Amino acid sequence: MSIPAGHAEGARLPQPALERLASYMRCLIELEQAGAAYVSSQELENITGVSAAQLRKDLSYLGELGKRGIGYDVARLRERIAEVLDISHEQNVLLVGAGRLGSALLAYPGWRLYRFRIAAVFDRDPKIIGTTIRRLKVRSIDEVVEANEEFGARIGILAVPAWEAQNVADRLVAAGVRGLINFAPARLQAPPEVKVREVCFICELAILSYQISDPAPPAEGDAAA
Amino acid sequence: MSIPAGHAEGARLPQPALERLASYMRCLIELEQAGAAYVSSQELENITGVSAAQLRKDLSYLGELGKRGIGYDVARLRERIAEVLDISHEQNVLLVGAGRLGSALLAYPGWRLYRFRIAAVFDRDPKIIGTTIRRLKVRSIDEVVEANEEFGARIGILAVPAWEAQNVADRLVAAGVRGLINFAPARLQAPPEVKVREVCFICELAILSYQISDPAPPAEGDAAA
C-alpha cells in the first residue's frame, strides 16, 4: 500500500494509494493557485481527509520534499506527484459527445492545470457536426480513427447516451485510445489493455442520501429489519 | 464490512459497503431498464467488478432475494437496496449554478430512476435569474432559504466556480440542507452534521493516465506492443 519512488521500475501503485495521490494533487493545485508556498501534513489532512501519518508515509517515498517546521514545498510536491501519475507532460484527450455534458466538460477550466488538452470533439448528430464549441469544430465520430493519427490521444471521454456508449468505446479503442472515462450509465466491454473508469455522480447522491438519513427507526417500510 | 439488515437499528454502513451498494444499485437499474428479471451473482460480478463471493455476502444481509439456479430478483433487489440507501421515496434536491455544468445536470435523465427531483435551480447572475431551463425558472441564490421552506430538500448540488462554493455552501446549510455534492474544486467547511461529497472527474483522468502509462521505458510510438 506504500507508494514506490516511481513507476520506472515497473512497480504499480495499488488503487487506494493512487486515489490518495490524485487527491493530494488536486489539493496542491488549489493551494498553488491560492499562492501557498508550503503546506504542512496537518493542513493536508484537514483538506484531503487523509491522516497526516498516512500522508507523511505516502510522501516520504516521493523524495525529500518536506522540511520540519515548514512543511512541504507545494510546487515541488505537485510536480513530483504529477511525474508519478504520468501527467507532467501535455496530453491530448478526445471527447465524444458535444451535447450538454460535453459542452460542460469543454468549458471546464481545470484541464490545463492537469496538462490535459481536449484535442478534438466528436459527435454523431449531423446538426452538431461542423459547429464550433469553444474554438473546437465538432467532427463526425466516423473520423475519429483518422483524426487520432494526428493527435495521438491515449484517453477518450464518453459523454454520450448509454445506448451509444459501447459503439463509441469500440471506435475510440480502434483509434488507439487506451483509457476511457465513461460518463454514460453503461458498463463498457474493452480489451484487457484498455482501462475504463466510470464516473457516476448519481451514485454520489445515493451514498450521500444514506449518510444524512436518520439512523432512528424510520417507522413503516424498513420495519422488517 | 458486512452490510446489516437495515439502518433501523442505528447501525451505519461503512464507506466501502456503501459504495458497493451504490454500485449494485446502478447496475440493477440498468438491468431493469434492459428488461432483465433475474441476475446471477456471477453476472453482477462481471458488471460491477465486485467478486461474486463478496456480493453474495453483502446481499445475504438484505433478505431472501436470491434463488439458487435462477439468481436475484432484479426489481426486488433494487427496491431493497433503495430502502437501505434511503432513496426509496422521492427526494427534492436543490441545484446551485445554472451555467454549463448546471444545465448538463438538469438534462441528466437519471434523476427519476433514483427518485431524486431537482426542485429548484439557483444562480447569482442577474442575466440568468428569471430564465427557464428545462421548465425550471432560475431563482436568485438570495431566495434559497425561503424557497427551501417549500421544498424541504436535504441535498444541495454545487455547480459553481470554486471561489463561490463556500458562500453557496453556507447558504444551502442555512436553508436546511444536510448533504452537499460539490463539483467545485474547493474543499468546503461545513458543520459536522452536514455531509459533503466531492466530485472530481479530473482526478479520474489523472488516475487513468497513471493506469495506462507504460511501466517499462517506452520505446518510440509504443511500437513494442
**pLDDT value, residue B3:** 52
Contact A209 B155 (CB under 8 A): yes
Distance, in Å, from the CA atom of B136 to the CA atom of B93, rounded to the nearest integer, reads 13
Contacts of A208 in chain B (CB under 8 A): 155, 179-181, 195, 197
**pLDDT tens-digit series, residues B2-50:** 454 444 445 678 888 888 898 889 888 878 888 899 999 888 887 777 8
Q: State the DSSP H helix or E strand holding residue A146, giving kind and residue range, or none if neither.
A: helix A144-151
What is the C-alpha radius of gyration for chain B, rounded to an integer number of angstroms? 21
Cell, residue A69: 517546521
Nearest CA in chain B to A211: B195
Count the Cβ atoms, other than its own, within 10 Å of residue A46: 14
Helices (H), B34-177: 41-48, 52-60, 74-85, 100-107, 144-151, 162-174
Contacts of B179 in chain A (CB under 8 A): 208-209, 211-212
Q: Which residue has the higher pLDDT, A92 or B221?
A: A92
Instruction: Tell me which of A35-39, A182-186, B52-56, B73-77 is least confident.
Output: A182-186
Minimal CA separation from A191 to chain B, in Å: 13
Contact A222 B7 (CB under 8 A): yes
User: Does B65 have pLDDT greater than 80?
Assistant: no
Optimal mutation site among A86, A210, A214, interface B, most CBs of chain B within 10 A: A210
Give the Å distances, CA to CA, from A19 to A31, B62, B80, B105, B202: 18, 30, 30, 25, 12
Closest CA to B99 of A94, A105, A135: A105
Q: Hey, is A69 helix, strand or coil?
A: coil
Contacts of A140 (CB under 8 A, 6+ apart): A122, A123, A124, A129
Choose among A19, A201, A205: nearest Cβ to B207.
A19
**pLDDT tens-digit series, residues A145-177:** 999 999 999 999 999 877 788 999 999 999 999
User: Between β-strands A71-73 and A66-67, what pairing exists: parallel, antiparallel or unpaired?
Assistant: antiparallel
Contacts of A206 in chain B (CB under 8 A): 22, 25, 85, 87, 114
Distance, in Å, from the CA atom of A88 to the CA atom of A21, rounded to the nearest integer, reads 14
User: Dmax of chain A from CA atoms?
Assistant: 61
Closest CA to B123 of B85, B83, B167, B91: B167
Contact A107 B99 (CB under 8 A): yes
Contact B129, B138 (CB under 8 A): yes
**pLDDT tens-digit series, residues A113-131:** 889 999 999 999 999 999 9
Nearest CA in chain A to B25: A203
Distance, in Å, from the CA atom of B150 to the CA atom of B6, rounded to the nearest integer, reads 30
Distance, in Å, from the CA atom of A212 to the CA atom of B86, rounded to the nearest integer, reads 9
Contact A22 B203 (CB under 8 A): yes
